[in-house]
Amino acid sequence: MPLGVLDSNYGGYDNLITKMGYSYISLKRYRKMLEAHPEWEAMLRFDTEAGKMTAEELESKIDKEGELILNSPRRYSEKELYFELCFAYLKSNYTLYLNCAENVSFFSYQETFTVAKKKAEDEMREVDLPPLFCFDFSENEPTYDKVKNCIKANGFCNKEHRLVKFLEKNSKVLEDKVPGLWNKILGALLQNERNTLVQEVNLILDDLRKITDLGIYIPDSLYLTKIDIVENDAFNTYLSFDFV
């Protein structure tokens, strides 16, 4: 069965999110889909440094070696259920470290992740964020010091950034009470580039502050500044093209 068959068989990502009534599907909801449809997991394939692997082969390899390098399942030009499910499976079963390589050539760029056995703290977290949203940045990369305090690198959000932690902590309230603003801030962080990201995110935070019965404190320190993205500038070069 060809890769991408999940989209043709199950209506595609866009149809799915329309039927489910929200723009960004959380990791927990994807996990439930995989539990309800074990045949979907059997169709997943992962492009690793050791070759293409099934989920079962990936598990066996990591059990033996502890970790391996994975080429990103994500495609920049499309949002497909298949690729979301790949990340949902990986984040449900492992800890993923984004390798922040400096190679951002249009023709040779390739995101990679280190897939490792799940950390104990990740076992305890029930995340309401989308599976493509945030990742640990690999401390083993020579560029780590450049990106460790940035909101984004290679188009993905930093799991340790203060705003990402805030969204994770308050995801349930935000999605339930202000789904429009919730989807808007996720969209801004996933899709916006460095020249518009700070302004748009801060405007959304302003809107959240105006909702008096939200029950969530929005401190000044939560707002983004150029410091949150300036060191990350080189890593966003690739994403400055209009096809994202």
For residue range 41-72, list pLDDT tens digits in order: 999 999 998 899 999 999 999 999 999 999 88
Is-above-0.85 flag for pTM? no
pLDDT value of residue 123: 62
- What is the reported pLDDT for 203? 96
Q: Taking 70 as the threshold, does the pLDDT of residue 22 lie above it?
A: no
Kindly report the average pLDDT of the chain as a whole number.
Answer: 79
Q: Each residue of 155-170: pLDDT tens digit?
A: 889 999 999 999 999 9
Most confident stretch, 87-91, 121-125, 130-134: 87-91
Take residue 27 and report the two structure tokens written for it: 């990791």
Q: Is there a contact between 30 and 80 (Cβ–Cβ < 8 Å)?
A: no
Q: What CA–CA distance (Å, rounded) separates 26 from 231?
A: 29
- Reference 43, options 98, 101, 82; nearest CA is 82
Q: E-strand spans in 4-107?
A: 45-48, 51-54, 67-71, 94-99
Buried b (16+ CB within 10 A) or exposed e, 30-49: bbebbeeeeebbebbebbbe
Q: Which of 216, 235, 241, 243 is nearest to 104 (CA)?
A: 235
Confidence of residue 73 (pLDDT cuts 50, 70, 90): confident
